[in-house]
Every structure is written in C-alpha cells, then in structure tokens.
Amino acid sequence: MTAQAVTLEDMERDALTELVNIGVSRAAVSLRKMVGQQVLLSVPSLEVVTRSGAITLIREREYGQMVAVRQDFDGAFSGRALLIFPESNSLAMVRAVAGASLTLEEAHAIEDEALAETGNIVLNSCLATMANMLKQPLSMSLPEVIRSNGSLLFEPRMHDTGGGIVLFLYINFAINNHDIRGYISMLMDLPSIQALRQLIAEFIRQVMGEEI
C-alpha cells in the first residue's frame, strides 16, 4: 500500500476530527488557566496527505518562514506531531500567552520558551486525549522549536518505515482577542496509520453500540 492509497472513510474522518477537537478543547482549558484569559481552539477540518502534499498545502497557504513545535509520540500508534504557525504570527502568540505588556525585545527573549510551552500543552492534550479515548498508552518527547519554509517540517523520523502520511489539521486559535491561524500535523508511517485506523474502527463500534 502506498501513501497515496490511504484514504479515510467519512465515519473515520469524523471520528478522528471529533477526537482531536476534544483534545484541543482540553488544551484550551489548560491554556486558559495558564494565561488567565479566554482561549478558543477548534479544528474545523482534517486532510490526509503525503509528506509532499503537506509541504504543498503549507506553501499554497503561507508565505515565508514557518515556526513549529515538534514532539515525537510512541505507543500503539507512533509518529511525529507538530503545531505550526507562520513565523510572522509567532511574536503575537508569545505576547498573547505571556502578556501584551511585553516589549518586542522581551518577547524575542522568551519566544522559543513560550512557543515550546504552548505547543507542549496543545500537542500533549491532543495526543493524550486521543490515546485515552482509544484506550491506549502514549509517551511523548520533549518539545522542540524549529523554523522552516515547509520542507524540513515534515521530515520523517529515522526509524519510520513504509512511506509517510500526514494528518493535516487546520486550527482556529483565538487568545486574548488575538486570532492566530495555525495547523496541527501528525506524521506517521503506514504501519502506524493502519494501527490508528483499527483503533478508530473499534472506537466507532463501541460508540455505535452504546447508542443502540
């Protein structure tokens, strides 16, 4: 099976989008506690693409450098998760999280630390919620901040096999009255995406069983 051959059924896509939305809703609660301000997060749509397709999507929608928080995850399904923003929005994100009273110099000084903390909260909430609802343990690496025009963002992990699929999610991010567009991406090899599909299928069966 090639990367291009992997497609999600409508029910699988809906279930996965719902799982991620529950995760980012929990991330919003955590961020709200951290910053003491209203935080709104939602994932309106999800696409399944190849790595080259993900690079194309980013380049079609954004100009210039991107900044991303990257974390690897391992468990029943494994891969690499990223929270991605246009670099032009990164200081707005820092000031929204750390305080609008920061000077530009102060915001630059804590930029990577604040981005890593924000990304860690969002990605951990998202992945941990998915794992919990799918009844699977999951471990995550420490967050790493990277900058790229697109191609380096979707580099696979060295030991991944069987091609690569990117779950590409658009994210609406509003914090302290700042609207900051971004993306959540999960890069997985084919064995991991197949394992995730099986877990989602079991999740759907359980939910449908409860509704009967």
What does DSSP assign to residue 95? H
State the pLDDT at residue 3. 47
Cβ neighbours of 145 (radius 10 Å):
17
Whole-prediction pTM: 0.86
Angle formed by the axes of helices 190-211 and 10-35, nearest 10°: 90
Tell me the pLDDT of the chain averaged across its residues: 83
Six-digit token pair at 6? 């992997």
Please determine, for residue 179, whether its predicted confidence score (pLDDT) is greater than 70: yes
pLDDT, mean of residues 44-72: 86
Please name every residue paired with 56 in a beta bridge, in sequence order, or none if there are none. Answer: none
pLDDT in tens, 130-177: 999 999 999 999 999 998 877 778 876 666 555 578 888 888 777 766
Provide long-range contacts, Cβ within 8 A and 24+ apart, for 90-98.
90/115, 92/178, 92/180, 93/118, 93/173, 93/175, 93/178, 93/180, 95/178, 96/35, 96/175, 96/176, 96/178, 96/180, 97/31, 97/34, 97/35, 97/175, 98/35
pLDDT band at 212 (very low <50, low <70, confident <90, very high): very low
pLDDT in tens, 84-96: 988 877 777 777 7
State the pLDDT at residue 137. 92
Among 90-99, 104-113, 177-186, where is mean pLDDT lowest?
Answer: 90-99
pLDDT band at 2 (very low <50, low <70, confident <90, very high): very low
State the pLDDT at residue 159. 62
List, in order, residues 6 or more apart from 112 with CB less than 8 Å away: 145
SS3 (DSSP) at 71 = strand
Higher-confidence residue of 93 and 73: namely 73
Please name every residue paired with 186 in a beta bridge, in sequence order, or none if there are none. Answer: 81, 167
Provide long-range contacts, Cβ within 8 A and 24+ apart, for 100-104.
100/176
